[in-house]
Structure 1
Amino acid sequence: MVQMARRGRRVMAGAALAVAGTLTLAACSGDTEASEPEGTSSDAPAAEELTPVSVQLQWLTQAQFACYYSALDQGYYEEAGLDVTILPGAVDIVPIDVLTSGGADFAISWVPKVLGAVEQGAAVTNVAQIFERSGTLQVAFADSGITSAADFAGKSIGSWGYGNEWELIAGMQANGVTLDDLAGGSTVQQAFDMNAFIAGDIDAAQAMTYNEYAQVLETINPETGELYTEDDLVVIDWNDEGSAMLQDAIWADADRLASEPAYEEATTAFIKGTIEGCVFAKDDPQAAADIVTAAGSTLGTSHQLWMANEVNKLIFPSTSGVGHINEDQWDATVSMSLETVNPEGATIITTEPPETAYTNDYVDAALEELEAEGVDVFGADYAPIEVTLNEGGE
């Protein structure tokens, strides 16, 4: 667990913390104890009045989650009446399992991954869709002969699996390419890095705009002695291809929402604080990157800033207010989940999810409060910054 004193606000982030009324689950983290903060914000509720809640992230501490770490650091959660613990994820941590087992009060996860769990009986609800756009790419070298998913036939196509492959498969199917058409008759199991791609073992690799894509751009091209550039690459963006699915969302316990008024209040408060954190990260991505680094991320300085900037692009400008779940995007994700076939011949889901699978009740309440307070929850004038990547992301 990391504790930092910043602007006089109480900040907590770490692997596991036992708090009254909240059961948290140990997560992979190298965090260590730091000194106790000197004080709390004068405009935040007293510590004993705060409601303790925890949120399970989908991955390790990094600027993908700048909204949450910024909200914690800047005291937005405290101002909303919450004492929040952030639980970093890992390869072997399934956020929805942590949520449904009582190990966290909220979880961050991609929608298609959770829809399968919902069909299997997980009583969870998407209460805020923080990422409005998908950050998933398929990246090839410019001389690969690949310009679209239609060119994947006969090629070695990398994928992480673990439910991260659905947009790729949906995009292939939309272009008339089946898994059998690929070299070897299926995707290649790709590590969570770009090493195999850079080595030439994979013709097109899976990458997130905010992470693995940058890993290539911060690597030396042996032919030039300089860093790879965007001109060296072909990028297939599933937002452009029409197979983008909803990604980072805040999930809550559906049974508790139906039976615990206090949990409902905490849900709205958590969403409100998170959105404020997103707005902070938009307005000052460097500060957000620094906050995440201080919370325990080991990513390099330029890579962390790149990530914060790219994540902002997935959130802003917001069509309906940050976190509001757009029905057309939800329906498109559900439709592809019903139609996309995995290597075993199964679709993500076989029936429409229940009405409890998502709701805008809590996020809209949070948005209304924020707009009344003068917070710009749309960011219509948002413009990303220019980030220069250094070798190795340093």
Structure 2
Amino acid sequence: MNETEASRTQGATISRAQRILDALPAIVCVLDLAGPRLTGHNAALVRALGCTGEELLSRGVEALSARIHPDDLAGLAARAAELAAARDGGVVEGELRARTIEGGQEERLFAVRAEVFTRGDDGAAREVVVFAEDVTARKRREQGGPRRDALLAALCDRAPVFMYAKDRDGAFLLASRSMEDLVGATPGSMLGKTDGDFCPPEVASIYKDVDDLVRRNGAPFEAEEIVPQAQGDRTLYTIKFPLRGEGVPEGAVAGFSVDITRVKAAEREREAARDELLAAQQDTIRELVTPLLPIAEGVLVMPLIGFFDGARASRIIETLLEGVERHSARIAIIDITGVKAVDVQVAEMLVQSARAVGLLGAQVVLTGIQPAIAQTLIELDVDLRGLVTAGTLRSGIAYVVPVGQARGGQEARHARRE
């Protein structure tokens, strides 16, 4: 291999090594202690400092020092002296705080590892290679672990809701104090046990089916459930969901339940009050739609308007019979002047009203029959026997008032049957 080929091969090897270094997420640089200056670096350092490669080679130490916390920067001289005296393979490790372009103004914590890279003719360390890894997130997790555990313990002891977590076999991994109180368990005694240890078999089977459903669907499940208690059933609103994360067993399920017994009782009370209000409104509407007016002793008038359906026809008959009985009426005038049309249903209602009133010992007088309605009644072949008819309400009143006043049984005068 000639010199040109050897040089080309060496250049390719160096380029390959540089690409490997640039692919590393950790910062790597080579520091010439005599300068001091940077003689090599990877892309991670460029990203961290926001400088170009050329700038790092010319003023890299200055740019790097400006990012390091002053208190940590002061200790680097001692570390450099320690490295200068280190044997081959000796490593100096530590931590330092620095701000990076990627981190904005936030101070980051780096784990730093340095060792001798090259030595001079006198054997003293000339260059050192430095590796720096951002460990900010890891340190926060490590420091936050005990605090999170304390918070979780306090939450489980004090939370007014029921909290729990189970493994794939249904054994409790976590149970709040409120959950233990609900099933009558002593503190900590639910861990490792299942619903079957605290609930009837049929109830435990339902809980297991829901847990399995959550595992299969991989999505939260919401429902209301009834929990039998000696002092009375309690209604819980429950949300169950898959539990995943570092250190969480595969197939774990967690849940929160809120006691809504009082809320449901209040809802029932509101519904009952609403039903009472609707019933009162219906009574009022019924009275307005089917008014019954006493106009003289023993005489009632029911003026009808609009259209009729089966429900309204039934209310008319019901109101009429109640009024006849309540007022001890002998005559009931039904005025249909305001009725838009008469069909079979209306005609049957009129006949039924007359017959029903007759069973109570009273008589129906039908007034306000318009020519078109009269023709319809004839075409329908309606049997109006038992009904006294009058052309107008006024003539009907003139006919019946004497009868109402003569409740001793005298014959009605001027009676006209049509």
Q: Shared fold by TM > 0.5?
A: no
TM-score w.r.t. length of structure 1: 0.18
Point out the structure with the larger helix share.
2
Point out the structure with the larger strand share.
2
TM-score w.r.t. length of structure 2: 0.18
Q: Give the greater-gyration-radius structure (CA).
A: 2
Work out which structure has the larger RCO, using CA pairs closer than 8 Å and 6 or more positions apart in sequence.
1
